[in-house]
A and B are shown apart, each in its own frame.
Chain A
Amino acid sequence: MTLSTSATADHIYANGLRNQWHAVVPSRFVAPGGMRKVTALGEQWLLFRRSDGTLAMLADRCPHRGAPLSLGKHLGDRVACWYHGVEVETDGTVSSVPGLPGCNLEGKKLVTSLPVREVSGAILAWFGDEEHPEPAELTLPDPLTDPEADAFLCYAEWDVPWRFAMENLLDPMHGAFLHHDSHTMFDGDTTAKFRIRETDRGYFFEKTDQRGVNFDWVELCRTGVDWVDLSIPYPPSAGPGGPFGIVGMACPVDAGRTGVFFWRYRRVQGWQRDAWRFLYKTLIEKRHWDVLEQDRVMLEAMPADADQRENLYQHDLGVVRLRRLYRTAAEAQSA
């Protein structure tokens, strides 16, 4: 059984919130006709893609003796467990028990199958617990559906708790320090006042006295999937089209690991779009990566109890609010 309702609030807070969508891995990680084992929310899953591209996500556990289905064989529209050949369809139904035809496992839906969607190159899955198997409405990040915007996905795997990765995004002030030696965040004041501004889908955490200079604001959006939106100016060398934005998501892999998804997007069209894409692939992607590595190095070096022994100040209001929100949700889900 997966994602039980009996998990403690501490476990959920550490391993990821249920009853919402999460990005899992990039779509290209699962080839047509292929399978991939993934860990998410502290549990083992199998991504399974038919040759026509249809994707399914199953608990990586044979309903017979618990062997990992990911060690099994891809049979086109189902997977056969390597241990005893038990065959499981993409909706989790046992279609065949070769060792004992007619066995009462056949025809039963015994494996958890998560609803999946593919969005701008990423696989999103609904992680409902036992009481919430049906997915809630998912509203996709508007920069990823805006025909005026163009995006590249960057995915990376970090040895940090998912909360630290999200908190880092709700902490814009680190841009002026950690990323001072970067191609985009060298400018602007190193002092600031911040405010929280509520929206109907989350909240903004923003500087009150500077905009469009550094990483000056961030919006947390809870639209069935949790994501952030932010904007960072490009230097003139990046050509026409103004700042680039980031849609960020974090996949809680387990208590100590996170998959981070950053879509760098720009509202740019025609030759300007083409020139940005060319520069991005040739020169800019590497510079963006170097900035992301600064985050990874810092966050991976943070002690595990970093959030237990702190002395916070006004710049941390966005983080404090995020924690309260997630902690409350974890407690509600463990009830």
Chain B
Amino acid sequence: MTDPVNGAWPYLDVHQSRTHEPTPYEYKLAATLEEVFTHEGHELADVVRGLNARQVHAADGAPWTEESFRAEMNRLGA
């Protein structure tokens, strides 16, 4: 990756929005979320049910609730 402050031409950086390399947990959650959005729909209740049905749980291992899912998305999407 080019150093953004002193970097030489050209600056070509795939990832400009990240603050860190996603963790294995984040990758798995993101991939499953895409699958759920594709097959279960876009309603919050469907998304939470779809994640739980696939046994892809929160970082503490607990099944998702609408509240815990919102909170985690808020943290990860900041």
Contact = CB atoms under 8 A, between A and B. Distances in A.
Interface string B14-49: 111110001000110011011101100010100000
Contact of A279 (B15, B18, B33, B42): B33
B15 A286 contact: yes
B61 interface: no
B45 to A, nearest CB: 12
Nearest to B31: A283
Interface in A139-158: 152-158
A156 B11 contact: yes
A47 to B, nearest CB: 11
A283 B69 contact: no
A35 to B, nearest CB: 9
A277 B73 CA distance: 9
Contacts of B27: 282-283
Interface stretch (A55-63, A94-102, A233-241): A233-241
A269 B42 CA distance: 13
Given A159-B10, A239-B42, A273-B77, A283 B34 contact: yes
Interface stretch (A24-32, A188-196, A319-327): A24-32
A153 B13 CA distance: 12
A275 interface: yes
**A interface secondary structure, majority:** helix
Interface of A: 26, 28-31, 34, 36, 152-159, 235-240, 257, 270-283, 285-286, 289, 296
Interface of B: 4-6, 9-18, 22, 26-27, 30-31, 33-35, 37-38, 42, 44, 69-70, 73-74, 76-78
29 contacts: A26-B4, A29-B5, A34-B5, A36-B6, A152-B16, A152-B17, A154-B16, A155-B16, A156-B11, A156-B13, A157-B9, A157-B11, A158-B10, A238-B37, A239-B34, A271-B44, A274-B73, A274-B74, A278-B30, A278-B33, A278-B73, A278-B76, A281-B77, A283-B31, A285-B14, A285-B17, A285-B18, A289-B14, A296-B12
Given A271-B74, A279-B33, 5 more contacts: A159-B10, A271-B44, A271-B73, A281-B77, A285-B14
